[in-house]
Each structure stands twice: as C-alpha cells, then as structure tokens.
A and B are shown apart, each in its own frame.
Chain A
Amino acid sequence: MITIAIPTGLLSEGSLELFSRAGVVQISREELGRRLLLERDGVRLVLVRPGDVAAYVDHGAADLGVVGKDSLWESAGQHYELLDLGFGGCSLVLAAPEAAPLDGPDTWPASMRVATKYPMATAAYMSRVGQTVEIVRLQGSVELAPLVGLTDAIADLTATGRTLRENHLRILTEMGYSTARLVANQASLKTRTAQIQDLVLRLRDAVAPSAPIAGRTADGA
C-alpha cells in the first residue's frame, strides 16, 4: 500500500486529474473531500493542508506527496523532490503601490520593507540581488500592508495578477515560479523502491508533454 498526501485547495483537482490520467487511481474531488482518507486500487490518499504535505512525507506518514514548490521554499525537508507535475503554476512577485516611485532595483530604497507569507524565499531572492530587506511576516491579506504604510512592497504568489491590480499594486519583478511537485519520503524510496518507481514513471509519462520539465525560472530559494 502506497500512501500519497494531496493538498486541499487549488492543487487537489490537478492532482486527482493527473492520477486518473496516469492510471494510478480514480477518485473524484467530492469523494475525497468527504472522506479525507480513502483507499482504492492499492493506493491510500490523504487530503491535508497544503503546508502540511511536506511534514506528512518527511515523517514517513505518506510515501509520496503533491506539494506546491512555494511550500518547499519556506522549509527545506529531508524528502526527495522527484517531478515537476506542471500544473498549479504561479509566480512569486515583488509588488508595490502603483503610485510608488519604485521601478528597477536602482530605484529601491537602501533598505526595503516587504510584507510576505514567504519570508525565506523573499530573503533568498533579496540576498541574491544584494538588496537589504526588512521582512514583515503576515498570515494573510498581504496586499493591505503597503496601502496602509506598513511596508514599501509585498512579495506574494499570483497566478493572474488580478488581486494585485484590484488593490492598485504593480509588479516590480518576478522572484520565483512555483508549480506542483511530486515529493517522496527518503525511506520509502529505499524500502518500497519498485512500487514507488512504477508510480513515478507513470506520473512522469502522464504529465502533459507540453508542460515544462522544470520550473520556468530559477527557483526562489
């Protein structure tokens, strides 16, 4: 029995669709949503919060997991990152109020205050480009921070940029690009090599050929 952790929210649909296409297991989102834990065709699926997938996998409670790269930026674990599953693409962008006199890095303040839910990825990017940064870690509604003067800018994930536009924020730069990834527990790879490998190959073949094998730009962390 192979246990796979799937995140609730945006990535669950894509995960189940991919598993179905790869012939791994056929389960509808409604079915899994009702049960949280479901066994079928020798596979056990557990539905957990996106930020918890890596914990399930690292601790060995799940052999495999589907997780957004953005979750992995914030806490490096002991798992193997095996495949870019191609779906769930979104950018980590640095954005500031439309009226702010900020443009390229030359125009950024000597020390920039940035609100974000992604402090590690933000710090890693800023360190790469040599920008001093003061990070304000927020749990949600990050868009508000520059509007009320808490910070100069925000670093947040966006797929379409709509929320940013609605809040009159302008993208300064893309700091990273995240897609869904397949991660594996280190011990499971050793103790269930054949089963895991079979699953990984089927998923790899099922990932849309048009999808890039790896992320578009360098990872944020």
Chain B
Amino acid sequence: MPDGVPGLRDLLPDEAEALRAIQEATLAEMGRWGYRGVVTPMLESLDALALGLGDEHRRRLFKLTDRDGGLLAVVGERTIPVARMVATRMRSAALPLRLSYAGPVLINDGGRFARSREMHQTGAELIGASGPVADAEVIAMAVRCLAASGLQRYQVDVGHAEFFQGLLEGLDVSDEIRLGIRAALARRDFVQLAEILDRTPLQSAERELLLRFPALRGGPEILDVASGLVRNQRSARALEQLAAVHQLLGAHGLAGRVSLDLGAIRDFDYYTGIIFEGYGPDLGRPLAQGGRYDRLLARFGRPAHATGFVLHLDLIAEARRRAGDDPGAVRLDAAVAWGQRGLESAVALGAGLRRRALRTVVATEPRSYERSLAWAEEVGAANLLHLVEEDRVRWRLPGGEERRLDVDRAIEEVSAG
C-alpha cells in the first residue's frame, strides 16, 4: 500500500475541525480590524522568494523546475508573496493596506526527529504605515487572535531589532569580532559569545549587557534600566519606540498581556524595528511571530514600511489540546433514523433541521429504534429522531427523555432545543 510522505500528515476530522475553527476564528478577528483576505499561490519563482530569505531559509524550500527551466519553490511563508503582490499587482492601491491570508506552507527540513514539514498558518500584514500606532495595532491584533483561537493562557513578548543592532554598532571592536558576536547570538550560543567577549577589551557594562541578553525582559521598568546602560543613539531610539508602543498597548487594554523583551533574538537581516512573539503554556515554541520589516517591499520595487505577524495554527491547536480542550463527544446535533416506513419523512426532517443550521445525518439504511440508539451514539449525535412511520417521530433528547411528535413540530422543537 502506498504510504504517506514523512513529515507530511493527514488531519483526521477532530484535528482538522479544530484547526479550521482556529483558522476561521483568527481570520474573523483580523476582519474586525479591517484586514481583507488575499490568496497567494502555492508556488513562487525562487528568485522572488530569495529577495526576502537568507541562505539558510532558501536552502530549506521545496524546489521544482518550470517548463522553461526556471526554478520554482513551494512557499515556506507568505509574507514575501504578499509583499510581492502589493508591490506588483496592487501597485496602484493606496497605502496603507491591511491584508490577511491563510494556508499551508512547506519547509523541506524535518529538523530534529522529522518534525512536520507542512504547517498551517494565518497571518496579517499592515503595509505602508510606520510608527508606534501601526506597531501597536498589529501586536494588539495578534493578542486578540490568540484569545479568539480559544487559548486561555498565553503571553506576548515585544522587543526591538534595532536595540541589539545599536549595541553591536556601538562596540569598539573589529568587524570580525562584531560578526562573531552576531553569529553567536543568532545561534543563541552564549558560551561562544562569552569566549569572543573574553578576547575583547569591552567594558564590564557592555559585556554584562550582551551576556545577560536572554534575561532582559519584564515590564516597562526594564526600559529605564536599559536606557541607563546604553550609550548609542540607535538603541536609545529603539527604547523610546518600545515605550511608546507599550503605552498604546495599554490603551488597547492589553498592558497585562504583554511583556517587554530586549533580548529577543530573531532574523537580524529581516526585521528592522519592533518585533514580537506569542507563547502558550508548556509549549516549547512560539505560537505567533511578527514584527516590522521595512526593507522588504523596496526589494520588489515599491519601498514601503510594513509590519505583520503569522500565527502557527498547528501549534495553537496543540497548545489547546494540552490545556485539556477536548473537542467533545458531540459531533452532530441530530441523527435521523427510519424503519420499515418513514424514509421520505426522514429525508424531509433532515433537510428542515439543516436549514435551521443543525448538523444532521440521515441514516442510509433502515434500523429499529433500539439499533438506532446505538448508531446515534456511534456517530456522536446529541439527539436521535426515529421515524416510526411516515410523519410520526420518536425523539430521544440529550438527557434520555423521549417524546413523540410529527415532523414539522420536531423541526421546530429540536432546533429550539
């Protein structure tokens, strides 16, 4: 028997429904903020994607050859395709643009232990707006999306890519050392970082700041601590912007949900300003990631400020499962069964219930009432409706109570239930 491809998997109904519910809830939340949906293709030219990706990410794309020999790649994320679309197909659309998207992406790399290579995402991009108001809008929307996806516990950490860049630029060291520091931090290797710093004449304050990098997080008070330590303008400006964004997040009613994280380490070549990540409890990876990327659109010929985020739906679903969110045994509102007679009434009853938005299955073969009870449980239906004869319904309610009534009344009363 042909088997599935490693790292790619089927989602069975419980999982698929949970994932889709999160997708719809987050897209609906984005809609409430005025973000309109777009769909970009599964495949892009490798050259287009390469404009926004570093070597490492480019290597990890699934690639194909087009009829004319050009190289195509399956999208590994959708911010770059959206940027391409805004810079080309939508070049006459007035900025700022608020766009949302949904869909799977593929990464040709299982990582440790062949983790899933296909991931489902929703995301939003605010293109053509700069400054704390836009940054705060996108962060607040990401927080609301995490709430809308049904998570009870989550937190969002906000940092700034320029804080570290400023620190690095301000260091009185050779370019080689600077590259080494950057590479060690990008790998999150603080042992290597300490070793590099040991070879430099850096003052203890700068040294300590770099080595304590992952721990520079907390409330607004850490901005004061940090501004006492930095002596370069770039980092100081980053701290001012963080303060302004934090203030606005308070106005969004989210001050308690958001922490400041000066040690956020992300793709240094891509992000240019405020960055943020959302975490759930007991899940080792971020559920949401986003930030400002002001250089990307220019590479497609339409310079524009931009910020946005992506939600990792598979991880959010996993976080919900771990939090004990059971999809439940009830998968249907009604099961309609029929006996010797009653088939046509059963079909009509099913149609009536569905028009009232009840999830309803009509049996495909006749059953006695007793056998219908077992069937209704098997398919996970809250109500069983059995057609005793044409137009006589025996209704078993969720509590076990039984009633007999005609089809029209059954439609009324079950849907009112």
Interface residues of A (CB under 8 A from B): 54-55, 57-61, 69, 75-84, 181, 184-191, 193, 197, 213-215, 219
* A219–B284 touching, CB < 8 Å: no
Which residue on A lies nearest to B283, using beta carbons? A60
* A59–B284 touching, CB < 8 Å: yes
Which residue on A lies nearest to B285, using beta carbons? A187
> Chain B, 186-201, contact with A by CB distance < 8 Å: what is the 0/1 string?
0111111011001000
Complex interface: chain A residues within 8 A of B214 (CB): 80, 82, 184, 189
Q: If A55-B113, A191-B155 touch, does A214 touch B198 (CB 8 Å cutoff)?
A: yes
Complex interface: chain A residues within 8 A of B391 (CB): none
Which of A75, A187, A190, A214 is in CB contact (< 8 Å) with B195?
A214
* B282–A60 touching, CB < 8 Å: yes
Q: How far is the CA of A78 from the CA of B187 in the complex (A)?
A: 8
* B194–A75 touching, CB < 8 Å: no
* B194–A219 touching, CB < 8 Å: no
Known A55-B113, A58-B284; further 8 A-B contacts with Cβ < 8 A: A60-B283, A77-B112, A78-B188, A82-B214, A84-B191, A188-B284, A191-B279, A214-B194
Q: If A188-B284, A190-B157, A190-B217 touch, does A214 touch B192 (CB 8 Å cutoff)?
A: yes
Q: How far is the CA of A55 from the CA of B110 in the complex (A)?
A: 13
Whole-angstrom distance between the Cβ of B287 and the nearest chain A Cβ: 9
* B112–A75 touching, CB < 8 Å: yes
How many inter-chain contacts with C-beta < 8 Å in the A-B complex?
78
Nearest 6 interchain pairs by C-beta: A60-B284, A214-B195, A80-B188, A81-B189, A84-B191, A185-B284
> What are 26 of the A-B contact pairs (CB < 8 Å)?
A58-B112, A61-B284, A69-B191, A77-B111, A78-B188, A78-B284, A78-B285, A80-B190, A80-B214, A81-B187, A81-B188, A81-B190, A82-B214, A84-B191, A181-B191, A185-B284, A187-B283, A188-B284, A190-B155, A190-B277, A191-B281, A193-B215, A193-B217, A213-B191, A213-B198, A214-B195
Q: How far is the CA of A202 from the CA of B198 in the complex (A)?
A: 21
* A60–B285 touching, CB < 8 Å: yes
Whole-angstrom distance between the Cβ of B369 and the nearest chain A Cβ: 50
Complex interface: chain B residues within 8 A of A191 (CB): 155, 279, 281
Q: If A61-B284, A213-B198 touch, does A190 touch B112 (CB 8 Å cutoff)?
A: no
* A81–B191 touching, CB < 8 Å: yes
Q: If A80-B214, A213-B195, A214-B195 touch, does A186 touch B285 (CB 8 Å cutoff)?
A: yes
Q: If A54-B112, A185-B284, A187-B279 touch, does A215 touch B187 (CB 8 Å cutoff)?
A: no
Complex interface: chain A residues within 8 A of B191 (CB): 69, 81-84, 181, 213-215
Q: How far is the CA of A189 from the CA of B277 in the complex (A)?
A: 13
Q: How far is the CA of A61 from the CA of B322 in the complex (A)?
A: 12
Complex interface: chain B residues within 8 A of A82 (CB): 190-191, 214
* B157–A76 touching, CB < 8 Å: no
Q: How far is the CA of A80 from the CA of B112 in the complex (A)?
A: 15
Which residue on A lies nearest to B213, using beta carbons? A80
Whole-angstrom distance between the Cβ of A92 and the nearest chain B Cβ: 16
Chain B contacts with A in 194-222, Cβ cutoff 8 A: 194-195, 198, 214-215, 217-218
Complex interface: chain B residues within 8 A of A84 (CB): 191, 194
* B285–A190 touching, CB < 8 Å: no
Chain A CB within 10 Å, residue with most, of B111, B112, B281: B112
* A76–B187 touching, CB < 8 Å: yes
Q: How far is the CA of A80 from the CA of B190 in the complex (A)?
A: 7
Which residue on B lies nearest to A59, using beta carbons? B284
Please tell me if B125 contacts chain A, counting CB pairs below 8 Å: no
Whole-angstrom distance between the Cβ of A106 and the nearest chain B Cβ: 27
Which residue on B lies nearest to A196, using beta carbons? B215
Chain B contacts with A in 120-150, Cβ cutoff 8 A: none
Q: How far is the CA of A219 from the CA of B188 in the complex (A)?
A: 14
Q: How far is the CA of A81 from the CA of B189 in the complex (A)?
A: 5
Whole-angstrom distance between the Cβ of A71 and the nearest chain B Cβ: 11
Chain B CB within 10 Å, residue with most, of A61, A77, A187: A187
Complex interface: chain A residues within 8 A of B189 (CB): 81
> Chain B, 351-368, contact with A by CB distance < 8 Å: what is the 0/1 string?
000000000000000000
Please tell me if B162 contacts chain A, counting CB pairs below 8 Å: no
Please tell me if B170 contacts chain A, counting CB pairs below 8 Å: no
Whole-angstrom distance between the Cβ of B260 and the nearest chain A Cβ: 11
Complex interface: chain A residues within 8 A of B111 (CB): 77
Chain A CB within 10 Å, residue with most, of B190, B195, B284: B284
Q: How far is the CA of A76 from the CA of B194 in the complex (A)?
A: 19
Complex interface: chain A residues within 8 A of B215 (CB): 189, 193, 197
Whole-angstrom distance between the Cβ of A103 and the nearest chain B Cβ: 30
Complex interface: chain A residues within 8 A of B192 (CB): 81, 214, 219
Q: If A80-B214, A82-B190, A187-B283 touch, does A55 touch B112 (CB 8 Å cutoff)?
A: yes
